């Protein structure tokens, strides 16, 4: 059972920030692999780019954009915690940040089609 403090929006936001960072770090080797293919040859890069046209990869791209915006938004939250005065509207700011991340993801997937 989760204790009350672990249900607090601030705790959940901190965990989401850490988890999104870890998932983004897992993506980096694939990103570097594709960059390496670009250096290797044009044909290898073209094959990798063709592979990214698969529907499942498009869903993964959407997830990557959502993770990036979520990590950015929650990172800005951490900076606000460090440098701005305490405010009671923190829960609202967390909700706005998560909603903005999802909105960016929706805009991204809308532009894929």
Each residue's pLDDT tens digit, 49-66 = 899 889 998 888 888 998
Could you tell me how far CA 43 lies from the centroid of its own chain? Answer: 30
Spell out the residues 6+ positions from residue 61 whose beta carbon is closer than 8 angstroms to its own: 52, 108, 112
In a domain, 80, yes or no: yes
Is 73 within 8 Å of 98 (Cβ atoms)? Answer: yes
* CA-based nearest residue to 66, from 32, 30, 16: 16
Q: What share of the chain is helix, strand, coil (3-state, %, to 5)?
A: 85, 0, 15
If one counts the domains in the chain, the total is: 1
The token duo for 93 is 């700011």
Domain housing 83: 54-113
Q: For the chain, which residues score pLDDT lower than 50?
A: 1
In a domain, 34, yes or no: no
Each residue's pLDDT tens digit, 87-100 = 667 777 778 888 88
Task: Give the pLDDT confidence score for residue 2 in this predicted structure.
Answer: 55
């Amino acid at each position: 059972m989760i204790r009350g403090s672990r249900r607090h929006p601030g705790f959940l936001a901190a965990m989401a920030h850490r988890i999104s960072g870890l998932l983004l770090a897992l993506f980096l080797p694939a990103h570097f692999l594709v960059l390496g293919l670009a250096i290797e040859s044009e044909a290898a890069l073209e094959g990798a780019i063709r592979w990214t046209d698969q529907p499942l990869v498009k869903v993964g791209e959407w997830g990557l954009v959502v993770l990036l915006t979520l990590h950015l938004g929650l990172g800005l939250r951490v900076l606000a915690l460090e440098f701005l005065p305490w405010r009671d509207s923190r829960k609202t700011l967390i909700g706005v940040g998560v909603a903005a991340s999802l909105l960016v993801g929706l805009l991204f997937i809308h532009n894929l089609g």
